[in-house]
Chains A and B, each alone.
Chain A
Amino acid sequence: MTDPVVVAHRLSKSYGAHVVVDAVDFAIPRGKCYGFLGPNGAGKTTTLRLLLGLTPKSGGELEAFGLPVAAHAAQIRRRIGVVPQSDNLDPDFTVAENLRVYASYFALRGEGLDARIDELLEFVALGDRSDARTHTLSGGMQRRLTIARALINEPELVVLDEPTTGLDPQARHVIWGRLAELRASGTTLILTTHYMEEAERLCDELVIMDNGRVLARGSPATLIADHVEPEVIEIRGENSIARCDPLNCRTERMGSSLYCYTRDPAPLLAALHDTHAQFIHRPSGLEDVFLKLTGRELRD
């Protein structure tokens, strides 16, 4: 095991009396994909801004590449690529110019740069759009360009704040593919998301956050094993729910569905078959863990 890329110890951030990140601990191993999962306002973006030295912490310790962030923020940012929550591509430039100008902020220029830009545009499947203005790109293309831009300085660590929010399934799958390739090539990834599928597919390890606190951590599989029963039967509609008796299950109500978590689904399944109730039987997933830990009521 090499040293972790990022280590936080009781990291805290408050705005006035509002504690937004509350004594959070994490250690992000090199070459892995590390996820921050949490509902709106959980403190995910703030955690990333702390890591980039874009906001002063209120307490605790935070190190990246073995250096305290506060004292070495610019030096640390040189080695990180950033995909912000909302795209901030430069609308005054074309696709290729966006990369070239961004490279200049890292003082990168010269022979290799043009080749690197072509390579990155190929990597995110924008090779044929290099002269397009950014406002003519679809949301998915803009996101891919932002990812290419984050890679211009050949970062050891790439930080992605909700990389696929608002994209259609095709666009999302393209991005997942690219991120998996990046990780396979040894780049460390940190990503925030509300998408369980995204976290389950990409993350080696993740923390579930809410109200600035870490509620649970581990690999997707261990989180599922530790926090919920392995199988769930979701019964849909009031009539169906009324007709059954969830034997030896932990049940939760959400909207017009009843979720029955269990280690032994056979008795309930048999009962349901007899009543012609509407139901789905599936293995438990991260979403079940997430909902159990963060509660089912609406946020904001």
Chain B
Amino acid sequence: MPGAAQAAAINWNPWRVPRLRRGAFAVWRRNVLVWRRLVIPSLLLNFGEPTLYLLGLGFGLGHFIGEMGSMPYITFLASGIIASSAMTTASFEGMYSVYTRMVPQKTYEAILATPLEVEDILAGELLWCATKSLFSGCAILTVAALLGVVHGWQALLVLPVVLLIGLCFAAPALVMSAISPGYEFFNYYFVLVITPMFIVCGVFYPVSTLPYLVQDFVHLLPLTHAVALTRPIISGQELQQPLLHLLVLTGYTGAFYYAAVVLIRKRLIN
């Protein structure tokens, strides 16, 4: 059967293109079920952190700064934090939790004995990481609305954007999990990638205040594009080049998801 032999060759190729299938939702649901049990401490984290940021930095610093980017500083900050929180939430989940399930807990080994495959597991994980970003986004939006910094119902549009931001940062986190020999490894990624983005991508001050050369580089980073979407949506300003930003976030998601699938196939199916 030449057909079968060909199919076999394709089946073992770790580079084969992942298919998106329903099985991913089973993995997503598994994580939702675990989360339900820990819902109180999770919500505390989701609401507590942004409240502290917005109250402390927003009102404290805001008192001296007044306006930034033609909006009250607290609005500027809230609309940036909603993007950066989506980033950190998805990154944490995509590294520490995914690695825990893959290596010490051997959950993926158990799942791979069923009809599901690596691409299904990772698609489910990706969606779950983004779902956690969405929870954090909802919390920040609520806190921001209560503090009166949100301008109108159009701000709800930020939620699907937050989901996309979650996907966009979960995917590289999965790649880190795929190549990680242990938990300590993730420190590099946080110190070298996540924290610098947090500082330079326009969360706390406009990117336009940076030197030109740095700006060029910063415009390649996904968080810059994330903030460029969340800020106008929350503050009620007009979106600039929304398609470009959506495309960048989607591009990062797709490329890193694919890389994670290839790497984890090589790691687990050997």
Measured CA separation A54–B4 after assembly (Å): 18
**Contact indicator B33/A101 (Cβ below 8 Å):** yes
A244, CB-defined interface residue at 8 Å: no
Task: Report how far A6 CA is from B269 CA in the complex, Å.
Answer: 21
Interface secondary structure of A, over-half rule: loop
Contacts between chains A and B (CB distance < 8 A), count: 75
A residues within 8 Å of B by Cβ?
52-56, 68, 70-71, 73-75, 77-78, 80, 82, 84, 86, 88-93, 97, 101-102, 104-107, 153
Interface size class of B (residues with CB under 8 A): 20 to 34
Interface status of B196 (Cβ within 8 A of chain A): no
Per-residue contact bits, chain B 1-36, to A (CB 8 Å; 1 contact, 0 not): 100110110011000000000110011011001100
Q: Which residue of A lies closest to B107 (CB)?
A: A90
Q: Is the CB of A84 within 8 A of B113?
A: yes
Of chain B, the residue at the smallest CB distance from A67 is B4
| Shortest distance between the CB of A139 and any CB in chain B (Å) | 16
B residues whose Cβ falls under 8 Å from a Cβ of A: 1, 4-5, 7-8, 11-12, 22-23, 26-27, 29-30, 33-34, 37, 105-107, 109-117, 268-270
Provide the residues of chain A in CB contact with B112, threshold 8 Å. 54
Q: A68-B4, A107-B23, A107-B26 are in contact. Are A88 and B11 (CB under 8 A)?
A: no
User: B11, B26, B29, B33: which contacts A73 (Cβ < 8 A)?
Assistant: B11
A78 lies within 8 A of B115 (CB):
yes
Pairwise interchain contact A55-B270, C-beta atoms closer than 8 A: yes
Given A88-B106, A88-B109: A105 in contact with B117 (beta carbons within 8 A): no
- Supply 15 further A-B pairs (C-beta < 8 A) apart from A68-B1, A68-B5, A84-B113: A54-B113, A70-B8, A74-B115, A74-B117, A80-B113, A84-B109, A84-B110, A88-B107, A90-B105, A90-B107, A93-B33, A105-B23, A106-B114, A106-B115, A107-B26
C-alpha gap A53/B112 in the complex (Å): 10
CA distance A244 to B131 in the complex (A): 78
Do A68 and B115 have beta carbons less than 8 Å apart? no
Q: Are B110 and A70 in contact (CB under 8 A)?
A: no
A55 touches B269 (CB 8 A): yes
Complex: how many Å from CA A153 to CA B113? 12
B11 near A71 with CB under 8 A, answer yes
CB neighbours (8 Å) of B8 from chain A are 68, 70-71
Residues of A within 8 A of B11 (CB): 53, 70-71, 73
Give the residue name and chain of the B residue nearest to A86 (CB).
B106
Expressed in whole angstroms, the minimum distance between the Cβ of B55 and any Cβ of chain A is 34
A52–B117 CA distance with the chains assembled, in angstroms: 12
Residues of B within 8 A of A97 (CB): 33
Residue of A68, A75, A105 touching B26 (CB-CB under 8 A) = A105
Give the residues in chain A near B29, CB-CB below 8 Å. 101, 104
Can you report 25 A-B residue pairs in the complex whose CB atoms are below 8 A from each other? A56-B269, A70-B11, A70-B12, A74-B117, A77-B113, A77-B115, A78-B114, A78-B115, A80-B113, A84-B109, A88-B105, A89-B110, A90-B105, A90-B107, A93-B33, A101-B30, A102-B110, A104-B26, A105-B23, A105-B26, A105-B114, A105-B115, A106-B114, A106-B115, A107-B22
